[in-house]
Structure 1
Amino acid sequence: MIIYLKKLLPFLCFIPVCGSSQDKPVVKFGGALRFNYIYSSWKEEQKKQGGDLMYDMFRINAEASYRGISLNAEYRLYSDAFGGGVLKQGWLAYDFDEKNSIQAGLTQVPFGIQQYNSHNWFFNIGYYIGLEDDHDIGVKFIHEQEEGWQYQVAFFKNSESIAFGGATDVSHSRYSYDVASMDVDGDGEPDYRNKEVNQLNLKVYYKLKHREFRHQFGGYTQYGGLYNLDTQKTGHHYGYGLFYELDYQAFNLKSQLLHYTKAPENPDTERPDIMAMAAYGAPYLVAARADLVSLAVAYTVPVSWGPVSLLQFYNDFGCIRKLKKDFSDSYMNVTGVGVAAGNLYTYIDFAAGKNHSWLGGNFIDDFAGGTPDAGWEARFNINIGYYF
C-alpha cells in the first residue's frame, strides 16, 4: 500500500534558499485545495437538491532544514462554519543519527497506528474522540529503524492552545479532537470546562520483514491531567491499546484494540460519565469510559487509464463500546476507493454510522449516551483534492 496517498502527496515545489549544500538552508513548500460532493440519507432538503458540492479546505505545507535542525508545518483554512483557519501541525526536529530524533512543538501524539488508522477521507471512528491523528504541544523522542524494536516517548504540556491565560476555555477551532468546554444547558455559560495538561505517552512496537510480508505490532499508553476551570482541580485521563499492521504485496491491514478513561474533577452539578470534546468549530459530548476496536483493509491496483495511475479499494470499520450500562455503542463503516491521477487524488466513500455525530442522529449526544433504537445513517461523499 502507498501510505502517502492518505492525505499528503509528495511536494513538487522545491525551493533551495542560498544553494543546495548541506550546510545551507533548504525550504520546501506544498499544499492542497479540496472540494466535497455530499449526499446524506438524513437530510431531506439536500436529497431533494441532488446533494451539495462544497468547499472543503485549502492548506499550505512548509518544510525547512538548516544545520541539522528541521521544521515541518501545515496550516489549513476551512470555512468559518468548520472552524476557519487552524494549524494542524508545526514542529522543530533534530536528528541525532539515522535512528534517533526529537520533535518539539505541535506534533502527532504516539497513540495508535501512525500516521493514520484508516484509508478513507473520513478517518476511522477513533479520530472523532481524539484517538487518531491527534496533535498536541510538547516534546517527542523517536527511535525508528527499518526492522526490530521501535519506540516513541513524549511529554505534552497541553493540547493546541490559541489563547494565553490558564482560565481560558479550549478553542473549538482546531483540527484534532481534544477535551474542551461547551454550553450544555443553554444558559449561555460553558459547562464541562476541562483542559488536557501534562500528558505522558509511550509507544513500543516491532517491525518485521519476511519475504513479501511486512509486519508491525506493538502497544501504547498515555496518562495525563484534566484541569477543570470551575473547580480548579486536576483530574486524570489515561488510555492503552494494542495494534497490528500487515503489508503483503498490494494488501494492507490495520487492526487495533484500545481502552480509554477520563476522570475529571467536575462540579457536583455535572455528570462524571461524559466529557465535552471539540474540533472544526463545534463541540459535542463523549462517553468518559469506553473500549474501541477497529479493522481496516485496503488493496491497491496500478492502472493506466489516461491520467489515472492507481486505485485503492478499502473498507474501514470501527466501534466504540461504551462502558456505562445504559449508553448505546457507536459504529462506523466506510467502503470506498481512492483514485490517483497525477497531482489529483479523489476519495469516493460510502460512510455509514450508528450513534455517530457526523453521520446522522443526535450530533450532541451520539458519542455519549447515544440512542438505544438508533438506526444506521449513510453519507455518500466524493472528496476531490489537488495536491501541489
Structure 2
Amino acid sequence: MEKTLLLQFYRLILGTAFLIFSFPILAQETKDSEKPKLKLGGALRFNYNLSSWKEGQKDRGGDFGYDMFRINAEGSYKSVFINAEYRLYSEAFGGGFLKQGWIGYKFNQEDQIHIGLTQIPFGLQQYNSHNWFFNLTYYMGLEDDHDMGIKYIHDSDRIQYQLAFFKNAEELQFGSTTEVDPSRYSYDIAGRNKEINQFNGKFIYKLGKDRQHQLGTSVQYGGIYNLDTKETGNHHGFALHYEFLGEKWNVKAQGMIIDHNLKTPDTISDKVLQFGAYGATYEVAAKFNLYSLAISRRVPVEIGPISNLEFYNDFGFMDKAEDDFEDSYMNVTGVLITSGNVYTYIDYAAGYNHSWLGGNFVDDFSKGNPDAKWEARFNINIGYYF
C-alpha cells in the first residue's frame, strides 16, 4: 500500500511540474498580448477521531493520522478557463482520484458553460453544511456531487439559473458490463446499476437589499441502466432550498423528494441500490425524502494567530418510503477555527442508522436497524490550505 501511495504521489508531483513549466512556455509563444494564466493551490490535512462504537480506539484515546493531500489548478486564456482538483487519500479510502475537472467558456460576466467533471446543480451549493463531515445529503450523492457532462450557468443581480446534461458519473474503466469504481470523491450509484443521461435544472431568486435571502428550487431526471437485465429504469428528484447569507449568520434549509425506479432481475430487490465512494459501497433506500437545517455564526477574534471562530449545528433527517425501513438521522455540532491558512474543524458528529457513524456500514441507509442507538464521533481535522 505504501508503494502504491508513493507512486501516486510521484505522479501528482510530476503532473504539477508539467503544468507549472508548460504554461509559461505557452504564454511566451502566443502572439496575443493576453497570456495564459495559471494559479496553483492545494491542501494538506491530518485527522484525529474518537468513536463511541470502537472499543479498541477508546482504549487508545483515539487515533491521529493522515487525511488527504490535494492539488488545485485554475487556468485561463482569454474567455476559456479550467478548474481541476486532484486528491490523494490513503489506499483504504480510495487512493488518488480527481474530485473535479472541467473546461469552461465565459460568454460575458453573467453567462458561462462548463464541460467535464463538474458539480451537479441540485440543491444548496457548494455545500449544504458547515462541518467537516458534510450533511446527510452528501452520503446519497446530493451534496457537492460531480458527474461527467455539460452545464450552462446564468448568474445575474437577482436571478441565477443552471441547466445541465450529464452523460454519466465519472467512468474509469469503460467496460461493457464493468461496475462503477467506488474510488471517487462524491457518492454515485454503483454495483449493478449505472447513472446515465441525466438532466438538471436549478433556479434561484435573490431577495433583500443585499441579496442575502436566496430562495430556490431544483429538479433532476435521469436513467438507471442495469448491467444484468440491460434495461433502463429512471430516477428523479425535486428540492426546495433557502439560504440566508448574513454578515455573521448563515442559515441553510432544504427539503428533497428522491425516487429511484430500478429494472433489476426478479431475484434482486428494487427497494434498495448501492452507492459508492472512497473505495467502498453501501446500500441506500430507493425512495426517500430528506430534510436538513444548518446554522452557523461567525465570531471575529484576535487570539494569537486565530482570526475567526465559526460555530455551527447541521442536522439531517432521511425519511424512507418503505414502512419497514428505519429512518436515518445525523447531527453535527462544532466550530471552525481560522488561523491564517490553517483551518481546524472540531466536530461532535452523531448519527442514527448512519453508515459512517456506528452501526452496520452495509445497510444503515437502506433497511436500517430497529434496535440501533445513536453513536457519536469526536473529530478534529487540521488542514493547511495554500
TM-score (norm 2): 0.92
Question: What is the one-letter code of the residue matched to 1:180?
Answer: A
CA contact (8 A) 1:111 1:203 kept: yes
2-side partners of 1:355 and 1:54: how far apart? Answer: 26
1-side partners of 2:137 and 2:173: how far apart? Answer: 27
Is the counterpart of residue 199 in structure 1 residue 198 in structure 2? yes
Is the counterpart of residue 176 in structure 1 residue 175 in structure 2? no
Cα offset, 1:86, TM superposition: 1.0
Question: What is the one-letter code of the residue matched to 1:164?
Answer: F
Q: Secondary structure at the match of 2:56?
A: helix
Is the counterpart of residue 124 in structure 1 residue 124 in structure 2? no
2-side partners of 1:355 and 1:135: how far apart? Answer: 25
Aligned match of 2:4: none
Is the counterpart of residue 324 in structure 1 residue 322 in structure 2? yes
Aligned match of 1:161: 171
Q: Secondary structure at the match of 2:138?
A: helix
Q: Which runs of 5+ in 1 are unaligned?
A: 1-13, 182-192
1-side partners of 2:313 and 2:221: how far apart? Answer: 31
Aligned match of 2:102: 91
CA contact (8 A) 1:357 1:366 kept: yes
Instruction: Using the TM superposition, name which of 263-272 and 22-31 deviates more.
Output: 22-31
Per-residue CA deviations over 1:290-313 (Å, capped at 9, x if unaligned) read: 000000000001111111111100
Is the counterpart of residue 263 in structure 1 residue 277 in structure 2? no
**Alignment of structure 1 residues 235-314 onto 2, 5 Å:** 235-314=233-312
CA contact (8 A) 1:25 1:65 kept: yes
**Alignment of structure 1 residues 26-45 onto 2, 5 Å:** 26-45=37-56
Cα offset, 1:372, TM superposition: 1.2
2-side partners of 1:204 and 1:128: how far apart? Answer: 23
Per-residue CA deviations over 1:92-118 (Å, capped at 9, x if unaligned) read: 000000000000000000011000000
Cα offset, 1:89, TM superposition: 0.1
Cα offset, 1:148, TM superposition: 1.4
1-side partners of 2:42 and 2:254: how far apart? Answer: 31
2-side partners of 1:49 and 1:149: how far apart? Answer: 53
Select the structure that is richer in helix.
2
1-side partners of 2:177 and 2:327: how far apart? Answer: 34
Aligned match of 2:208: 209
Aligned match of 2:11: none
Closer, same or farther in 2 for the Cα pair 1:71/1:38, shift >3 Å? Answer: same
Per-residue CA deviations over 1:216-241 (Å, capped at 9, x if unaligned) read: 01100100000001111111011011
Q: Secondary structure at the match of 1:210?
A: coil
Cα offset, 1:22, TM superposition: 6.7
Q: Secondary structure at the match of 1:127?
A: helix
Instruction: Using the TM superposition, name which of 355-364 and 201-210 deviates more.
Output: 201-210
Cα offset, 1:370, TM superposition: 0.3
Question: What is the one-letter code of the residue matched to 2:209?
Answer: H
Question: What is the one-letter code of the residue matched to 2:299?
Answer: V
Cα offset, 1:179, TM superposition: 0.4
1-side partners of 2:353 and 2:132: how far apart? Answer: 19
1-side partners of 2:248 and 2:176: how far apart? Answer: 49
Measured on the aligned residues, the alpha-carbon RMSD in Å equals: 1.5
CA contact (8 A) 1:277 1:285 kept: yes
Aligned match of 1:8: none
Question: What is the one-letter code of the residue matched to 2:203?
Answer: V
Which residue of 328, 341, 344 corresponds with 2:342?
A: 344
CA contact (8 A) 1:69 1:95 kept: yes
2-side partners of 1:340 and 1:31: how far apart? Answer: 17
CA contact (8 A) 1:22 1:67 kept: no
Cα offset, 1:373, TM superposition: 2.3
Aligned match of 1:63: 74
Query: What is the identity percentage for the equivalent residue pairs of Structure 1 and Structure 2?
Result: 60
2-side partners of 1:100 and 1:22: how far apart? Answer: 24
Aligned match of 1:111: 122
**Alignment of structure 1 residues 44-59 onto 2, 5 Å:** 44-59=55-70
Q: Secondary structure at the match of 2:355?
A: coil
Per-residue CA deviations over 1:352-388 (Å, capped at 9, x if unaligned) read: 0000000000100100000112110000000000001
Q: Secondary structure at the match of 1:81?
A: helix
1-side partners of 2:347 and 2:359: how far apart? Answer: 19
Aligned match of 1:5: none
Q: Secondary structure at the match of 1:365?
A: coil
Matched length: 362
Cα offset, 1:61, TM superposition: 0.3
Q: Secondary structure at the match of 2:343?
A: strand
Per-residue CA deviations over 1:144-174 (Å, capped at 9, x if unaligned) read: 02x3121000000000111123321100101
Aligned match of 2:5: none
